[in-house]
Amino acid sequence: MNEPYDAIVVGARCAGSPVAMLLARRGHRVLVVDRTALPADTVSTHYLQQYGLARLQAWGLLDEVRATGAPPITSMTISYDDAVICGFADPIDGITATLAPRRTALDPVLLRAAEAAGAEVRLGVALRDLIVEDGVVRGVRLQSADGELVEERARVVIGADGARSRVAEAVGAGTYDVVEPSCFIYYSYWTGVPDTGFHSRIGLNQQQVGLWPTNDDRTMVAVMRTRDRYPEFRRDVERNFHEVCEQVVPDLAEQVRAGEQVERFIGIRYPDNYYRVSAGPGWALVGDAGYHKDPFTGKGMSDAFTHAELLAEKIAQGLAGRPMGDALTEYTMTRDAETQGAYRFTTMISDLALTPELQGLFRAVSGNDPATRQFLSMVGGGISGEDFFAPANIGTIMAAA
C-alpha cells in the first residue's frame, strides 16, 4: 500500500491548486488530481477583484499572471439604467488595477505553483469514490483516462471539484441558504474593440451587459437575462445578443459590432446559489464545491483564493496536532460569517431588477466621488457590504444627493 498523503485535493483550478500549493509550501505531502487534462478553458468570464489579486500578490504569483498579457483595468463603469457609477476603488493591499485573465492563462500559473511547491499533480485522473472507514474519509479511488483504478490514502480529502462536486455527493453534504438562480448568460470574445475598462451595465427589462478586456487583445462581452427569456433568446443567439447590447449600452454595442467575433458563443443557465456543509471527518470542500453564487458580483474566483488560504491554514493546524474537526469547523464558520453580506447582496441584485431603494442609492452614488470610490471599494473587497450599507453611511450618501 502507498504511504498516505497529508492531503489529497480533487480539482486543480482556482480553489484546488492554491490549497495544494499552500499546504505543500508548509512541507506537507500533497496530491492534487483533476479529471481534465489541464490547461483547458472552462465556463467563466474570469474577472478578478482587487482582493483576489491581493491573494495572488501575497503568494508571489501576481507578476506571472500579469505576464500572461491580460491588460490592467483601471476604470470601472457600473450602471443601472441612467445612473452611472464610474471610477476606480482606492488601492486594496496595494492593488491599483484589476485583471481578467483567461482561465487558460491563469489556471496553469496556479497549478505550476502547486507543483513547484512540491505537490504531486495527476491530470486526466477522476475521483470515482471515497474510501470511508467507520464514518471517516480515509482516501480516494481514482480512475485514470485509460481506465486504471488506484486507491490513495490521506489525512484529509479536499473537494475543490466545482459546483457538481463528486466529493460533496460521496459524503452526502447538504446545502443551506439556497436561493434559486435568476439568470442565464451568453458570452464570447471580440478583437478590434477599444479598451474601455470594466463595464457591468444593467438596463431596463432585466437585461445586463458585461464587457472587459482580456488576453490576446480580446474583449469578453457577455449578455445576461432572466431565465424565463432563455428559450426565446437561444432561438437566435446572435441577433438577440446584439439587440440587448444596443438597448443597454448603445455606445459599446457599436464598437462590438465594428469588431470581429473570434470565438463561438458560450451560454448557460446559472445553477443555484448555495452554501454546502463543507467539512466532516476527514474531508472538506472549498471553492464552488462548498459555496456558490451568481457570477453577477464577480467573486467566485477571488473567494476561491481566499477560502483556499483559510482552509490551508486550518488544515495545517490540524496536521500539527489541533483536533482536525475543530480546525475544519472553524474554517466553515469563518467562511460563512465573512461571506454572508456579499451573498445576500448578490442574490438580492442578481435578478437585474433593483428595488426602489437600491435605484435611489445608485443615483445618489453616481456623480459623488467619495461615495463612488467607497462603492467600488466594496465591489473590490476593500470594505464589507455591512460597512457600506450601514444606515449611517447610506444616510450620508443620500443626504449629499
Ligand X SMILES: Cc1cc2nc3c(=O)[nH]c(=O)nc-3n(C[C@H](O)[C@H](O)[C@H](O)COP(=O)(O)OP(=O)(O)OC[C@H]3O[C@@H](n4cnc5c(N)ncnc54)[C@H](O)[C@@H]3O)c2cc1C
Residues that bind ligand X (CB under 6 A): 10-16, 33-36, 42-47, 126-127, 160-162, 166, 185, 268, 287-289, 295, 298-302, 304
164/239 with CB nearer ligand X: 164
Rounded least distance, CB 116 to ligand X, Å: 19
Are 269 and 186 in contact by the 8 Å Cβ rule? The answer is no
- Burial pattern 353-381, b for ≥16 Cβ within 10 A else e, equals ebeeebebbbbbbbebeebbbbbbbbbbb
Cβ proximity to ligand X, 343 vs 361, nearer residue: 343
Nearest to 226 by CA among 250, 252, 207, 247: 207
How far apart are CB 275 and ligand X at their closest, in Å?
14
Non-local CB neighbours of 320 within 8 Å, separated by 6+ positions: none
Q: Given the complex with ligand X, which of 204 and 268 has the nearer CB atom?
A: 268
What number of other Cβ atoms are within 10 A of residue 145's Cβ? 11
Least distance CB 279 / ligand X (angstroms): 16
State the minimum distance, in angstroms, from the CB of residue 16 to ligand X.
5
The DSSP letter of residue 134 is: T
Q: Which of 76, 55, 66, 51 is nearest to 99 (CA)?
A: 66
Nearer to ligand X, 300 or 318 (CB): 300
Cell of 1: 500500500
Q: Show the cell assigned to 147.
A: 481506465
> 12 or 157: whose CB is closer to ligand X?
12
**29, containing H or E segment:** none
Minimal distance, residue 125 CB to ligand X, in Å: 7
Nearest approach, Cβ of residue 212 and ligand X (Å): 8
Distance CA(248)–CA(267), nearest Å, equals: 19
User: Can you tell me the distance from the alpha carbon of 363 to that of 350, in angstroms, rounded to the nearest whole number?
Assistant: 18
Work out the burial of residue 175: count CB atoms within 10 Å of its CB; fewer than 13 is exposed, 13-18 middle, 19 or more buried: middle
Dig out the grid coordinates for 303 from the structure: 473567494
Smallest gap from residue 206 Cβ to ligand X (A): 17
Helix boundaries (H) for 83-211: 103-116, 166-171
Q: Residue 203 or 295: which CB sits closer to ligand X? A: 295
CA-CA-CA-CA dihedral for 304, 306, 307, 312, to nearest 10: 120
Q: 268 vs 320, which CB is nearer to ligand X?
A: 268
Query: Given the complex with ligand X, which of 33 and 342 has the nearer CB atom?
Result: 33
Find the shortest distance in angstroms from Cβ 110 to ligand X. Answer: 9
At closest approach, how far in Å is the CB of 400 from ligand X?
31
Query: Which C-beta is closer to ligand X: that of 40 or that of 136?
Result: 40
State how far the Cα of 276 lies from the Cα of 163, in Å rounded to an integer: 10
Is residue 125 within 8 Å of 142, Cβ to Cβ?
yes
Q: Is 272 helix (H, G, I), strand (E, B) or coil?
A: coil
Considering beta carbons, is residue 106 or 361 the nearer one to ligand X? 106
Q: How far is the CB of 13 from ligand X (least distance, A)?
A: 4
Q: Are strands 273-276 and 291-292 parallel, antiparallel or unpaired?
A: antiparallel
**Alpha-helical regions (H) of 152-218:** 166-171
Task: With H, G, I as helix, E, B as strand and everything else as coil, classify residue 244.
Answer: helix
